[in-house]
Structure 1
């Protein structure tokens, strides 16, 4: 098994989130079995047989070789080319029912923490309040339906939890099948 995994500023715990797991698979990019493999999304027009190791994600070689991205750039408009490159081409994406997207705060992309249910989200009241406000703006005007939806996160719907890389504020968006 290889040394410790590369550090991803915008996805600091990819094993805990399920985006990277232990595996004997060979990386489709470097053709080595590193002991770890990426399991989430990769967007490309090319045909790829296999998945990538974390090192080929971190150094950008997988995205460059296969002309693809691990995350859509939705929500990252107006950010520097460096941030865009880091998030979309050098950071593991994550599993989601709908198209995953990256949240931002303090003029930077936030760090993806993981998919959470209500109990985990409630531990970060600022994220819960922000999600509640976002859902109201999105058309959830019936307060009791909204609270019922939120308290049942983890049962058919979940929240994607992020943390600001500058101030530490937690953010979330809802994801459902």
Structure 2
């Protein structure tokens, strides 16, 4: 990540994930063109072009000024209100086919690593096994169908990969159109 961008604990490389990109657009909050612009979702009842610079995201001014969130609090069970606030109002969100959700591990929000396919997920066996277990609980897949679905990640579906900020464990959830 570029050294001049703010650091986001729960989304450490928003350039790699595509949530922030180089751009000449003007930030809807500070009205400045700073060379970087946010590209993912912003949830608000107001009519606003959700083009924000990373600095207005990091300091919370964009979320405060437009009474909105960059991520839903869904999935952030068991973490402090401060962590919920940092993830939803001071961290870049990410694009997903379904409603994005943030994962939790060790009583803290996990850091979003990015969208991955099966080949990338195999490099993180703990995340793959947790995803298998979650999908078994879901009950929609028998073992054969589950393995076909997982091996097809990266085509019709993808996995959202996270890393625990406390212990470093990787976890994931499946996202499909």
TM-score (norm 1): 0.97
Q: Which residue in the other structure is 1:76 paired with?
A: 76
Q: Residue 167 of structure 1 aligns to a residue in which SS? A: coil
Does 2:9 align with 1:9? yes
Q: Which aligned pairs between 1:24-173 and structure 2 lie closer than 5 A? A: 24-173=24-173
Q: Residue 82 of structure 1 aligns to a residue in which SS? A: helix
Question: Would you say how many aligned residue pairs link Structure 1 and Structure 2?
Answer: 176
Q: Residue 48 of structure 1 aligns to a residue in which SS? A: coil
| Separation in structure 2 between the aligned mates of residue 40 and residue 106 of structure 1, nearest angstrom | 27
Q: Which residue in the other structure is 1:174 paired with?
A: 174
Following superposition, which runs of at least 4 residues in structure 1 exceed 6 angstroms of deviation?
Answer: none
Unaligned runs of 5+ in 1: none
TM-score (norm 2): 0.97
1:79: how far off?
2.1
Q: Which whole-Å deviations, capped at 9, do the CAs of 1:74-111 have from their partners, x for residues lacking one?
A: 01134211101100000000010000000000000000
The CA RMSD over aligned residues, in Å, is 1.2
1:49: how far off?
3.0
